[in-house]
């Protein structure tokens, strides 16, 4: 047996997201939702703060000041880390080794948020597009009704004019 309507087979070809949007459109349900409601875990909050601070001018200034103080202090005779500052290099390497994956975690989380935002934007835009198409269809229907009504009125006027202009008896 053939599908009852060609649109049924077209709907079956859509992915789950598009079918859900159409379902919401048909049932007049909203698509927009607040994506900021999810609370980050403790580790995610720490990663975000470390990434935020590690990528700031404050961190750069503090790091430069600490390195300069370390070098100046250890450049004198009674140094606990004499030149070539091997302990300083070890501390900086450990800091970089720990800071890099924490920043990557924060960036991965931000990328996931961006993907969710893009998906949400797509869903809202798709529903808005469907609403606009529906409005255009409704406006076209109204315009057709008005044209039909206008043509009927003109035909009636022509009939009345024909009666008035018809042969006069007298």
pLDDT mean by block of 10 residues, the chain; 170 residues: 67 81 81 80 91 92 95 86 92 95 93 92 90 92 96 95 78
Contact between 109 and 50 (Cβ < 8 Å): no
Which residue reads 């790091």 in tokens?
Answer: 63
> Using CA atoms, how far apart are residues 128 and 111, in angstroms rounded to an integer?
25
52-100 confidence digits (pLDDT tens): 998 899 999 999 999 999 999 998 877 899 889 999 999 999 999 999 9
What is the predicted pLDDT for the residue at 1? 46
Of the candidates 24, 27, 36, 38, which has an alpha carbon nearest to the alpha carbon of residue 124? 24
Q: Rounded to two decimals, what is the model's pTM?
A: 0.63
Buried residues in 74-87 as b, exposed as e (16+ CB within 10 A): beeeeeebeeebee
């Amino acid at each position: 047996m053939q599908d009852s309507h060609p649109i049924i087979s077209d709907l079956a070809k859509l992915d789950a997201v598009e079918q859900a949007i159409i379902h919401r459109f048909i049932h007049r349900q909203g698509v927009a939702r607040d994506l900021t409601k999810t609370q980050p875990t403790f580790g995610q909050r720490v990663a975000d703060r470390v990434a935020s601070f590690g990528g700031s001018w404050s961190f750069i200034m503090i790091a430069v000041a600490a390195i300069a103080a370390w070098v100046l202090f250890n450049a004198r005779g009674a140094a606990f880390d004499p030149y070539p500052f091997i302990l300083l290099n070890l501390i900086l390497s450990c800091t970089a080794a720990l800071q890099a994956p924490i920043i990557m975690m924060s960036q991965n989380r931000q990328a996931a948020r961006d993907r969710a935002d893009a998906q949400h934007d797509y869903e809202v835009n798709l529903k808005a597009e469907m609403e606009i198409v529906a409005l255009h269809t409704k406006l076209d229907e109204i315009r057709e009704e008005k044209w039909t009504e206008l043509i009927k009125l003109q035909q009636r006027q022509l009939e009345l004019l024909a009666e008035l202009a018809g042969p006069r008896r007298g």
